Amino acid sequence: PCRRCRGRERPMSIVSNRLVRGQLLHFLADPGMGDDPAAWQFFDDGGLWIRDGRIQAAGPWAALTAALPPGVGESATVHDYRGHLVLPGFVDCHLHYPQAGVIASYGRQLLDWLNDYVFPAEARFADASEAERSAAFVVDRLLAHGTTTASVFATVHPHSVDAFFAAAEARGLRMLCGKVLMDRNCPPDLRDTAAGGMADSLRLIERWHGRGRLRYSLTPRFAPTSSPEQLRLCGELLASQPGLHLQTHLAENPCELDWVRQLFPTRGSYLDVYQHYGLAGPRSLHAHCIHLDAAERRSLAAGGAAAAFCPGSNLFLGSGFFNLDASREAGLRVGLATDIGAGTGFSLLRALAQAYEVGQALGAPLPALRGFYLATLGGAQALYLDDCIGSFQPGREADFIALDWAATPELAWRMERTTTLAERLFALMMLGDERCVVATHVMGEAAFVR
Ligand code: GUN
Ligand code: ZN
């Protein structure tokens, strides 16, 4: 906990002022494979000034505090994280909250795993209390892992979206969620209809989209479980409301690709199915994107869509290796994701270690600075939310975390033998997990304290 206030906070004055002191790191752009020094800022003795939940200034502590208006320094609540790494909150670009209860279900591959474990788990969400208990559990676990924003699949049941958004709203979180659209090739108790799915989505949009920090994301599960009519209506709804988001899955598994070819014989490719129905533009987020060629990556990027890189899930289900470097070279927006429940944990630090190993398999090991960019600003850019979150630029919402460099004996031992920031960050991403999370702040306030 914060040394100065020990978790206690001073009563809110009319304007709430906070100062955060620690080793500050944030990104202005992707540092790439070469640690571009113009892409990031690090302040070894750094400070954040937060006013009413938003970043007012970030910089070296001495300069920041010297430039404060009269009275601010004296009246501010100080969060002293000296010795810890202070980062913008992690952004998890793709997860299924109803699948938290089937994490670590013996795999085989995507389609068997969906039938054997995922669909039965999602069917249990017909019970609204199961949805409410799961939503509270997942949101609290996200905070404990340092994740402050996520793009989240619910189930086909509209009340599963209500449960998730209510849990996020109660904790003041910026979150995206949507009701799964799925009108074929799934169990009857999880099936909607093209018209019914749209009517449910519209009601949820009216209830939740733009309420506080929440945004609605239209959620066709993936091409095989939606009829052409459902995809067509979904594209129409997406185009009709500026600001709506869309999330789905694309090119995850070779059997899935064959299936899409059979189901949509007149379309040129899996990607072409989504493009045809207007489901691959700005604010559309496609999980996996493993089995795409160079022209498809360029085409996805040119349309303004984004990819969610889910290395843990891709290893767990044996889906393949996402080519991060080729995707970024093609100009594609990429965020990092756990893809719970095919991913086996909520930690984006663990996801970074998995991303590094996937990169190794492709001959392009992920550098640490690019990794921490992906987990913060990269995710915000993939979600088109970088004007709100993902960095410490003035005006951004003050969601941030403090990480302990030496949370385990192995980390402490290794850190004593590092000499550069890049080395320390790399050791943190390879050896770290939720044990490193000292505190998670939402709009300036401590929402989780270790
Ligand atoms: N493709 C369609 N649905 C799913 C899902 O729930 N998880 C994963 N990993 N892939 C999918
Ligand atoms: Zn998924």
Atom of ligand 1 nearest to the CA of 313: 9
Which of 92, 93, 105, 110 has most ligand 1 atoms within 8 Å of CB, for mutation?
Answer: 110
Q: What is the pLDDT of residue 10?
A: 47
Count the neighbouring beta carbons within 10 Å of the beta carbon of residue 48. Answer: 27
Q: What is the DSSP letter of 365?
A: P
219 lines ligand 1 (CB under 6 A): no
Q: Is 315 in the pocket of ligand 1 (CB under 6 A)?
A: no
The pLDDT score that the predictor gives to residue 381 is: 98
Please list the residues that pair with 220 across neighbouring strands: 181
- In the reported structure, the alpha carbon of residue 339 is separated from the centroid of ligand 2 by a whole-number distance in angstroms of 5
Considering only CA atoms, which of 425, 340, 333, 410 is closest in space to residue 378?
Answer: 333
Residues composing the chain: 450
Q: Exposed, middle or buried, 341 (CB in 10 Å: 0-12/13-18/19+)?
A: buried
Q: Please say whether the beta carbons of 143 and 182 come within 8 A.
A: no
DSSP label at 32? G
Q: CB of 338 closer than 6 A to ligand 1?
A: no
Ligand 1, residue 310: give the atom nearest the CA: 9
pLDDT reported for residue 319:
97
Q: For residue 103, which ligand has an atom nearest its CA? A: 1
Residue 290, CA distances (Å) to 220, 249, 300 in order: 19, 10, 13
Mutate to test the pocket of ligand 1, among 93, 94, 96 (most ligand atoms within 8 A of CB): 96
Alpha-carbon distance of 427 to 443, in angstroms, equals 29
What proportions of the chain, in percent to the nearest 5, are helix, strand and coil?
A: 45, 25, 35
pLDDT given for residue 172 in this prediction: 98
Position in ligand 1 atom list of the atom nearest CA 252: 10
Cβ of residue 286 lying under 6 Å from some atom of ligand 1: no
d(CA 314, CA 307): 14
Closest C-alpha residue for ligand 1 atom 11: 249
Ligand 1 site, residue 288, Cβ cutoff 6 A: no
- Give the helix ranges, DSSP H, for 67-157: 72-75, 110-113, 119-123, 128-144
**Per residue of the chain (450 residues), what is the pLDDT tens digit?**
445 445 554 444 457 999 999 999 999 999 999 999 999 999 999 999 999 999 999 999 999 999 999 999 999 999 999 999 999 999 999 999 999 999 999 978 999 999 999 999 999 999 999 999 999 999 999 999 999 999 999 999 999 999 999 999 999 999 999 999 999 999 999 999 999 999 999 999 999 999 999 999 999 999 999 999 999 999 999 999 989 999 999 999 999 999 999 999 999 999 999 999 999 999 999 999 999 999 999 999 999 999 999 999 999 999 999 999 999 999 999 999 999 999 999 999 999 999 999 999 999 999 999 999 999 999 999 999 999 999 999 999 999 999 999 999 999 999 999 999 999 999 999 999 999 999 999 999 999 999
> Does the CB atom of residue 249 touch ligand 1 within 6 A?
yes
User: For position 98, what pLDDT does the model report?
Assistant: 98
Give bridge partners of residue 87 from the DSSP assignment.
401
In whole angstroms, give the CA distance from residue 131 to residue 157.
9
Q: Which ligand 1 atom lies nearest to the CA of residue 341?
A: 7
Directed axis angle between helix 421-431 and helix 348-361, to 10°?
Answer: 100
pLDDT at residue 242, rounded to an integer: 82
What pLDDT is recorded for position 15?
77
Are the beta carbons of 65 and 73 closer than 8 angstroms? Answer: yes
CA 313 – ligand 1 centroid, Å: 10
- What pLDDT does 397 receive? 98
CA-nearest residue for atom 3, ligand 1, is 221
Ligand 1 atom showing the smallest separation from residue 153 Cα: 6
